[in-house]
Amino acid sequence: MSPLLQKKVLVLNQNYEPLSVCRAQRAVVMVVLGKAEIVERYDSEVHSVSCVVPLPSVVRLSVYIHAPQKRVALTRRNVLRRDSYRCQYCGTRRGPMTTDHVVPRSARGRDTWTNLVCACVRCNNRKGNRTPEQAGLSLARPPRRPHPFTRITYFASVPDQRWRPYLLVGRF
């Protein structure tokens, strides 16, 4: 398969909601069959015997697909990604990072998106088994559940800047 057809393409629903990411080969087939239209394109073209198709970067489906939104799994790695690998107490990115319960487990703190934050080892040890207020620390920003569209940003990265208007980049 041509490296050109290996490029990633953002697939939007009919209402411009991001659905998924696929290879350019699949996107070209959807365009040729009339199942999708090209919204943004790379600077290349795909040639066949009977037609020339611009290489899509973003395609929009012709019909609306009802797809339930997939939630971002609550994992240590995803908490660190949400917080950009930055300690939420001191702001450093140096050293190993851990996850910290804002409300400690001993105080009935749960494993939820709104209770877990990224913390450096130093701040995590300083906070210990207390709340940030009790330890004299403050959060850089309140923790929250990431938006489902951010999974595209983190797992497929953003190989083309033309995707940015269609993704909620930076709104984890």
pLDDT tens digit sequence for 4-23:
888 999 999 999 988 888 99
- The strand ranges marked E within the chain are 8-12, 18-23, 36-47, 52-61, 97-101, 116-120
Same domain, 101 and 154: no
Cα–Cα distance, 69 to 116 (Å, whole number): 22
Give the tens place of pLDDT for each residue, 51-98.
Answer: 899 999 999 999 999 988 778 889 999 999 889 899 999 999 999 999
Question: How far is C-alpha 85 from the chain's CA centre?
Answer: 14
**CB atoms < 10 A from the CB of 46, how many?**
20
Q: How confident is the model at residue 172 (pLDDT cuts 50, 70, 90)?
A: very low
Boundaries of domain holding 124:
76-135
Could you tell me the CATH number of the domain that includes residue 104? 1.10.30.50
Distance between CA atoms of residues 81 and 97, nearest Å: 11
The answer to whether residues 23 and 50 belong to one domain is yes
Q: Residue 168 has what pLDDT?
A: 64
Does residue 156 lie in a domain region? yes
Q: What average pLDDT does the structure give for the chain? A: 89
Indicate if 152 and 102 belong to the same structural domain: no
In a domain, 31, yes or no: yes
Total domains in the chain come to 2
